[in-house]
Amino acid sequence: MTPTITAFQRSPDGGRGQARDMRVRWALEEVGQPYDVRLVSFSAMKQPAHLAVNPFGQIPTYEEGDLCLFESGSIVFHIAERHAGLLPEDANARSRAITWMFAALNTMEPPILELVTAVILERDAPWHAACLPLVEDRIRKRLAELSRCLGDSDWLDGAFSAGDLIMVAVLRRLNRSGLLDEFPNLAAYVARGEARPAFRRAFDAQLAVAAAAAAG
């Protein structure tokens, strides 16, 4: 059965692959699972039909038969559990890969989300200039810890896993901040993720949506 995911009709990032459908597209491409996409407008996202699938009125969602899921982390995990290629077979290695998924979403992403909020929502606030360096320092602390842990390895724990997929997707939110450049091994890690053929296919697919929206 071909699953259907949702994505922004007009992504706020204009196709830079920062919206969270990118994570799901990438996972589906990694495992070779075809998928359909239903595009959702900002107004439709807050309507009952979409809220029935995602109570927080966000994308992505994942529908497959009578299964409806939301939360990109959960959807990527669902895909990784049901296909080979995104989680190791060894039980301990599998648990560690899942740990990196949670680390990306609950330790790395929260301060990065603060930065996104500060830059987008509070750009004109009188405290913006004073507050920004504090947020950046909180991110730097986590990047330094992650950088030390990664060292000169290609991926966080052995072969590429769903943990790396989520971590790279989270770190990519920093692409325009300059913060990643302070940690060359992390910048190389993100570039390594972006160079994967499955990433490229997923990126091109979401970029095509953005291009169509811009043309329309």
Site residues (vs a second copy, CB under 8 A): 51, 55-58, 66-74, 77-78, 92, 95-96, 98-99, 101-103, 105-107, 109-110, 113-114, 117, 121-122, 125-127, 130-131, 134, 138, 142, 145-146, 148-149
Q: Which is nearer to a second copy, 127 or 216 (CB)?
A: 127
Q: Which is nearer to a second copy, 126 or 178 (CB)?
A: 126
The residue whose two tokens read 């920062």 is 18
Distances (CA, A) of 181 to 142, 177, 186: 14, 9, 8
Q: How far is the CB of 106 from a second copy (least distance, A)?
A: 4
Q: Locate 148 and state its tokens.
A: 């030390």
Q: Which is nearer to a second copy, 4 or 204 (CB)?
A: 4
Q: Which is nearer to a second copy, 28 or 69 (CB)?
A: 69
Cα–Cα distance measured from residue 22 to residue 29, given in angstroms and rounded to the nearest whole number: 10
Q: How far is the CB of 69 from a second copy (least distance, A)?
A: 5
For residue 81, the tally of other CB atoms under 10 A from its CB is 12
Cβ-proximal residues to 39 (8 Å cutoff; 6+ apart), any chain? 6, 7, 8, 9, 209
